[in-house]
């Protein structure tokens, strides 16, 4: 149960870290209750893309997360996938995806999670990703390392894409034309791809060394911000995802272990550095 803090200082990141882990886990548990009775949920398409869906669970979980964070840290701003933004001029801004991987969620696949990230002065500072299906909590605080449950994360030591798997993803949004050329180049180099349906989990998997890298033709901040903190903490690399207006509009995303980042970057044709 979340209780209101009366002692945390406005920029007490440790308090925010502790709270985010607790809130993400509780939201994930609530999500599992919905997941077990997913056939009863009302599911709507947000666009013509069949994978771009939202359920009552997404909205209820985001409401829970937003209320919990606002109670504890009323001075902080919020940006969520389902309920929009408020207070983006605040020093601390929470970035929330209540269910990342909703298409997987509603179709009975286990590849979904709750993702909560925090920007401080516009920079990724804290990230928590709760995966209740696999009983894993990925978490990181700037300057204090990154972990899955209690185990430190470490990126893969590979120096070539043939040494592991690369996460990939695309949608019907702008950028999709770059997807097949990237896959072709990856396969030509002897690499192999993996897609889970959750950008947050695939980003965390790069930080954990389970994937060599992850490329998505268009991603939103709530899909990857928490994972970016984890990657930064373990020495992984990403493109400059938050440049321009990507916080609100999204953009192309690339993350990788140090030894293959440049190889994957070349496969994108460097278009990931263009403005979205």
- Determine the average pLDDT of the residues in 102-112: 92
Place of tokens 């997360």: 65
Residue 6: the pLDDT is 44
Q: CATH fold of 13-152, please? A: Fructose-1,6-Bisphosphatase; Chain A, domain 1 (3.30.540)
Kindly report the average pLDDT of the chain as a whole number.
Answer: 90
Q: What is the pTM of this model?
A: 0.91
The C-alpha atoms of residue 33 and residue 19 are separated, in whole angstroms, by 21
What pLDDT is recorded for position 5? 44
Q: How far is CA 83 from CA 62, 78, 141, in A?
A: 7, 9, 25
Task: State yes or no: pLDDT of 273 exceeds 50.
Answer: yes
What does the DSSP 8-state code read for residue 48? S
264 CB-side CA count, 13 A: 35
Residue 97 labelled as part of a binding site:
yes
pLDDT tens figures, 163-176? 999 999 998 888 88
Please answer whether residues 198 and 81 qualify as being in contact, where contact means their C-beta atoms are separated by less than 8 angstroms: no
Domain boundaries, given as residue ranges, for the chain: 13-152, 161-273
Residue 237: is its pLDDT beyond 70? yes
Q: Does domain 161-273 have CATH number 3.30.70.1050?
A: no
- Tell me: is residue 81 an annotated ligand-binding position: yes
Q: What is the mean pLDDT of residues 112-127?
A: 97
263 Cβ partners below 8 Å, 6+ apart?
Answer: 160, 161, 189
Q: What does the alpha-carbon distance between residue 53 and residue 99 come to, in Å, rounded to a whole number? A: 11
Backbone angles phi, psi at 37, to 5 degrees: -120, 40
Q: How far apart are CA 116 and CA 181, in angstroms?
A: 32
């Amino acid at each position: 149960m979340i209780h209101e803090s009366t002692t945390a200082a406005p920029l007490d990141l440790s308090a925010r870290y502790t709270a985010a882990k607790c809130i993400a886990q509780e939201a994930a548990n609530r999500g599992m209750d919905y997941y077990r009775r997913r056939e009863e949920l009302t599911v709507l398409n947000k666009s013509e893309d069949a994978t771009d869906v939202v359920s009552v669970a997404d909205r209820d979980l985001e409401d829970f997360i937003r209320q919990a964070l606002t109670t504890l840290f009323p001075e902080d701003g919020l940006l969520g996938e389902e309920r929009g933004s408020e207070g983006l001029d605040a020093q601390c801004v929470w970035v929330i995806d209540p269910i990342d991987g909703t298409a997987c969620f509603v179709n009975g696949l286990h590849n979904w999670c709750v993702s909560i990230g925090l920007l401080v002065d516009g920079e990724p500072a804290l990230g928590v990703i709760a995966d209740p299906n696999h009983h894993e909590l990925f978490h990181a605080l700037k300057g204090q390392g990154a972990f899955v449950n209690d185990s430190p994360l470490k990126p893969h030591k590979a120096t070539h894409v043939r040494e592991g798997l690369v996460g990939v993803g695309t949608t019907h949004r702008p950028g999709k034309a770059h997807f097949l050329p990237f896959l072709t180049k990856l396969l030509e180099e002897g690499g192999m791809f993996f897609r889970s349906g959750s950008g947050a989990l695939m980003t965390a998997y790069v930080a954990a060394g389970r994937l060599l890298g992850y490329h998505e033709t268009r991603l939103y901040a709530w899909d990857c911000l928490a994972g970016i903190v984890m990657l930064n903490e373990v020495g992984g690399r990403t493109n400059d995802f938050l440049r321009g207006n990507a916080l609100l509009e999204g953009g192309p995303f690339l993350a990788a272990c140090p030894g293959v980042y440049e190889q994957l970057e070349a496969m994108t044709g460097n278009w990931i550095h263009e403005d979205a």
